[in-house]
Chains A and B, each alone.
Chain A
C-alpha cells in the first residue's frame, strides 16, 4: 500500500487486481482479489452454517449462534411483513449474511502477513448495486405478481386529499425509485468511508513513527493509534449495522409489495 515515495494511499485498498484472467463471451470476468474475497465469504458462511447443522434438540454454542442469526432474520421478516414474510427468509438471510460476512472479512487483520491485503467486497459500488437490484427486483416481482397493476396504488397512500392527487403519487414514485440507489450507496459509502478513515489514521501512525523529529510519534502517532482502536471498534459495529439496515429495509420494502400500504 505504500507508494514509491513512501506515501500511504488510503484508496489503494479498494484497487481490484486480477489474479487469473478469464474471458467469457468477450467479457473480461477475470478472477480478482474481489472474487477471491467473495469466495472466502462464501466459505466462511458455509463453515458457519455447517457448524450449526448438527440439529440437536439441545443446541451447543455454535448451533445456538446459527439459530440465533436465523431466528433474528426470521423474526425481522415476520414482524415487518407478517406470517407471509417466511417465504422471503432465504433471500433476506442470504443478503444479510453475505453483507455481514463481507464487511467483517474486510476488517480481518490479514495485512499482518506480508503481501496480503484484506479486501472489502461491499466497499464496491458494483457489488452493492447488484445487491440493491436483487432487493428492489424482488419487491417489483412480488408486487406485480401479487397485485398486478393494483401495485401502483402503493403510490397513492390512504387518506390522500383529492386536491393533492397530482403531487403525492409523484413524490411516492420518486421515493420508491430512489430505494435501490439509497440501498446501494448507503452500504458502499459506509464501508468506503470507514476503511478510508482507518487507513488515514494508520498512515498517521506509521508516518509519525518514521518522522525525523522526535516529538512527532508522541504527539501524532500515539493519539492516532488510540483513536484508531476506537474507530476500529466503531467500524465493527458499522459492519453489523449496515448489514442489518440493508436486511431491514429489504424486509420493509417486501412488506410494501406484499401488503401494499
Chain B
C-alpha cells in the first residue's frame, strides 16, 4: 500500500502542497468568492421579499379602492332608486288627478247626453202618439167610414199605448 509504504518520503510534500492548495481555496474561494455569491443570493431574497411586500401593499390599496368604488356605486344606486320611486309616485298622483278631472268631465258630458237623449226620446214618443192617432183615424175612416176627431183618436191611442 503506497499510502503507508511511501509515507515517510512523501508526507512533507503532501502537507506542503495540501496546505498551499487548501489555503488558497480557503482564502480566495471560501473568503473571496463565496461571500459575494452569498451576498448576491441574499440580495435576491431581499428583492423578492420587497417585491412581494410591494405587491401585497398594492393589492390592499386596490382592495380599498374597490371597496370605496362599490360603496359609491351603492349610494348612487340608492339615490337613483329614490328618485325613480319619487318620480313614480308623482306620476301616479298626476295621473290620478288627471283621471279624476277627466272622470268629472265625462260624467257631466254623460249627464248632458242622457238628458238630450231622454228629451229626444220624449219628443219622439210624443210625435209617435200623434202619428199613431192620425194613422188610427185614417184606418178608422178607411175601415168604417166613420169620422173620428183627432181628439178621439189621440185618446184611444193613448189608452192602448199605456195599456199595451
Q: Which residues of A contact B (CB under 8 A)?
A: 11-12, 14-16, 18, 22, 24, 27-32, 34-35, 38-39, 41-42, 45-46, 49-50, 52-53, 55, 57, 66-67, 70-71, 74, 89-91, 93-94, 97-98, 121, 123-127, 130-131, 134, 188, 192
Contacts of B9 on A, CB cut-off 8 Å? 16, 28
Given contacts A16-B2, A67-B37, A67-B41, contact A91 B21 (CB under 8 A): no
Q: Is B143's CB within 8 Å of the partner chain A?
A: no
- Is B34 engaged at the interface, CB distance under 8 Å to the other chain? yes
Q: Are B37 and A90 in contact (CB under 8 A)?
A: no
Which residue in A42, A53, A123, A192 is a CB contact (below 8 Å) of B21?
Answer: A42
Q: Are A11 and B2 in contact (CB under 8 A)?
A: yes
- CB <8 Å contact, A89 and B34: yes
Contact partners of B4 in chain A: CB under 8 A: 125
The docked-state distance in angstroms from the alpha carbon of A32 to that of B16 is: 11
Is B162 an interface residue when CB atoms closer than 8 A count as contact? no
Complex CA–CA separation, A122 to B6 (angstroms)? 15
Count the B residues whose beta carbon is within 8 Å of the partner chain — how many? Answer: 36
Q: Does B149 contact A (CB under 8 A)?
A: no
CB neighbours of B24 from chain A (8 A): 42
Q: Are A124 and B44 in contact (CB under 8 A)?
A: no
**Contact among B12, B14, B30 with A90 in the assembled complex (CB-CB below 8 Å):** B30
Across the interface, name the chain A residue whose C-beta is closest to B13. A29
Looking at the assembled complex, report how far the CB atom of A247 sits from the nearest CB atom of chain B, in whole angstroms: 13
The answer to whether A42 and B37 touch across the interface, beta carbons within 8 angstroms, is no
> Is B83 part of the binding interface, using a Cβ–Cβ cutoff of 8 Å?
no
Supply 17 A–B pairs (Cβ within 8 Å), ascending by A: A12-B2, A15-B2, A16-B13, A27-B12, A28-B13, A31-B17, A42-B24, A49-B29, A52-B37, A55-B37, A70-B38, A89-B38, A90-B35, A97-B29, A124-B14, A130-B19, A131-B18
Question: Could you say which of A34, A49, A123 contacts B10, with CB atoms under 8 Å apart?
Answer: A34
Chain A residues near B30: list those with CB within 8 A. Answer: 89-91, 93-94
Contact B13–A39 (Cβ < 8 Å): no
Whether A39 touches B10, Cβ cut-off 8 Å, given contacts A29-B16, A46-B28, A57-B44, is: no
Q: Is the CB of B37 within 8 A of A94?
A: no
Which chain B residues lie closer than 8 Å to A29 at the CB level? 12-13, 16-17
Docked CA distance A27–B12 (Å): 6
Contact A32 B33 (CB under 8 A): no
**Residues of chain A lying within 8 A (CB to CB) of residue B41:** 67, 70-71
Quick check: is B25 within 8 A (CB to CB) of the other chain? yes
Q: Flag if A34 contacts B14 (CB, 8 Å).
A: yes
Give complex CA distance A89, B6 in Å.
34
Contacts of A70 in B (CB 8 A): 34, 37-38, 41
Residues on B with C-beta less than 8 A from A28 are: 9, 12-13
| Distance A15 CA – B6 CA, assembled complex (angstroms) | 8
Residues of A near B11 (CB, < 8 A) are 126
6 smallest A-B Cβ distances: which pairs?
A: A90-B30, A35-B17, A29-B16, A126-B14, A27-B12, A38-B21
Within 8 A of A (CB), among B12-54: 12-19, 21-22, 24-26, 28-31, 33-38, 40-41, 44, 47
Cβ contact of A14, chosen from B3, B15, B29, B44, cutoff 8 A:
B3
**Separation of A134 and B23 alpha carbons in the complex (Å):** 11
Tell me the bound Cα distance from A32 to B6 in angstroms. Answer: 12
Assembly CA distance A76 to B50 (angstroms): 26
Q: In the docked arrangement, what's the CA distance between A15 and B9, Å?
A: 12
Chain A residue at minimum C-beta to C-beta distance from B6: A16
B34, A90: Cβ atoms under 8 Å? yes
